[in-house]
Amino acid sequence: MRFSMNLPSHRLRTVAIATAFALPAIALVAWPRAAHAAGVDTETQFVLNTFAFLIWGALVMWMCAGFTMLEAGSVRTKNASMICLKNIGLYSIAGLAFYFIGYNLMYNNVQQVIGTVVWPLYGPSGDEMALLSGDESALAAVVDNGYSVMSDWFFQMVFVATTASIISGALAERVKMWSFFLFTLLLTALIYPIIGSWTWGGGWLYGMGFQDFAGSTIVHSTGGWAALAGALVVGPRLGKFRRDGSARATPPSNVVLVTLGVFVLWFGWFGFNGGSQLALGSAFDAVAMSNVLVNTNLAAAAGVITALSLSRLVFGRIDLLVGLNGGLAGLVSITAGPDIVPHAWSVLIGIVGGAICTGGIKFLEIVKVDDVVGAVPVHLFAGIWGTIAVCIAAGGNFVTQLIGILSIGAFVFGLSWAVWFAIEKTIGVRVSEVTERLGQDTAELGMESYPEFVLMPEPMDDD
């Protein structure tokens, strides 16, 4: 084909532009091997991997805002300010504890069960420090690491903060602030890092082949076990259970805020699971990460619909809060194996997770365990299911997965119960009856979340 030289000038420009774009495409189609070989250079891979750690980590950090919204809307207005204080406090404590102690115990020189704390404290590598000082010869060594050292630390840190956030909601409205902060310190500096060293740190469970892609057990069940231990030691809220054993309804103060909190958590979960691919420097990583995000979304959606469908059967009504928790349970359930390729499996995993959570909420009422936000059914019960589900769709070994669930559960619940019990016998874990009736906002903080409202005393009879 020949181009006519008599074409108008504007058409000639159009043809030239089209040809400029078409020729590279034709070349890539004609020579696919050459296109594949071009790839991405190592420095670009380094930048993409580092950026992925940072941006996904920021999304996971935003989950703390989601937990705050969910909890502040779930409690009565007289305790909303305390919820806000606890959540920003626990995030700060988690960051400091993980920097000074936790990260080293989890990842540094792990010998089967625990790592070692080094001095000076964890920081940029020597090559990175040299590069920042202007030594260009250190660039190759920095790039060879695959990602910035502290970007990895940041991504790992926000996970431990998520674990601590789980406990806050379960024990809301009656646990002392400083007692809660003390437990958070021990959880983020010792308990969670030890579990992490067994698994992601290369310890004994990792050696057995235990699979938990983003933390159904390592993060969520750990938080769930610690929350359950705390709920048993602290006890239920005043008036939560009547003399006949039935549970008194304690409706949330702000359903809109709870719903927004769940959407924020759902959004943050894309960073939680997607970032756990731990790389974005190749086409393989991009495809795998895309599958992870789709599976995450499908499981959450299936959990919502399942929980809403079962809520009338279990609770006698269509319950929005049960549906919201069902979505979170679907997210927790898929977290252990979101890298599965057949997307239909993620829907099934989310369905079962939503059903387990709905039944779990009712079960806790029957056994008189007061969990304000449903943290135990969402994070513990669904986390156990998700870790087992890896055997169905992601090639996990059932015996190995079960050993991991039982060993982590026994360690976290046993140690957490001992810590809560020790705090109870020393400084106490529960606020006074007067404080609980007035609300922690006024009694402990001297402020109200909604000062324009007139708070009416709540009936505490045992009818």
* pLDDT value of residue 393: 79
pLDDT at 344: 95
Can you give the pLDDT at residue 454?
59
User: How high is the mean pLDDT in each 10-residue block of the chain (463 residues)?
Assistant: 37 39 37 43 94 96 96 95 96 96 92 84 90 94 95 95 94 96 97 96 95 96 97 94 86 94 98 94 93 97 97 92 97 96 94 97 95 96 97 89 97 98 97 93 88 64 52
What is the per-residue pLDDT across 343-360, written as a single tens digit (0 to 9) for each?
999 999 999 999 999 999
The Cα–Cα gap between 246 and 311 comes to: 18
Predicted pLDDT of residue 459: 60
Closest CA to 146 of 61, 6, 44: 44
CA gap 200, 336 in Å, rounded: 12
CB atoms closer than 10 angstroms to residue 16: 10
Burial 334-357 (b: 16+ CB within 10 A, else e): bbbbbbbeeeebbbbbbbbbbbbb
| Cα–Cα dist 279/15, whole Å | 40
Under 8 Å between Cβ of 83 and 449: no
Q: How far is CA 331 from CA 141, 172, 263, 347, in A?
A: 38, 23, 12, 11
Q: In sequence order, which residues have a C-beta less than 8 Å from that of residue 201 and are 6 or more positions away?
A: 106, 107, 110, 115
pLDDT, position 32: 35
pTM, 2 dp: 0.88
Identity of residue 115: G
Domain boundaries, the chain: 13-38, 45-445
> Does residue 120 have a cis peptide bond before it, meaning omega lies within 30 degrees of 0?
yes
Residue 89 pairs with which residues in a beta bridge? none
pLDDT of residue 236: 95
CA neighbor of 84 nearest in space, from 97, 73, 96, 95: 73
Q: What are phi and psi of 175, to 5 degrees?
A: -95, 140
Own/partner pairs, 321-326, CB within 8 angstroms, 24+ separation: 321/74, 321/252, 321/255, 321/258, 321/374, 322/357, 322/358, 322/361, 324/258, 324/259, 324/262, 325/357, 325/358, 325/361, 325/373, 325/374, 325/377, 325/378, 326/353, 326/354, 326/357, 326/358
45-445 maps to CATH 1.10.3430.10: yes
Please name which of 369, 431, 441 lies closest in space to residue 83, comparing C-alpha atoms. Answer: 441
Question: What residue type is 393 in one-letter code?
Answer: A
Nearest to 438 by CA among 61, 77, 90, 180: 77
Pair of tokens at residue 183? 């437990």
Cβ-proximal residues to 429 (8 Å cutoff; 6+ apart), any chain: 175, 176, 179, 230, 233, 234, 420, 423
C-alpha to C-alpha distance for 23 and 1, rounded to whole angstroms: 15
Q: What is the CA radius of gyration of the chain?
A: 26
What is the number of other CB atoms lying within 10 angstroms of the CB of residue 312? 12
37 CB contacts (<8 Å, ≥6 apart)? none
Alpha-carbon distance 274 to 293, whole Å? Answer: 6
Identify which of 419, 400, 416 has the alpha carbon closest to the alpha carbon of residue 199: 400
Q: What is the pLDDT of residue 288?
A: 95
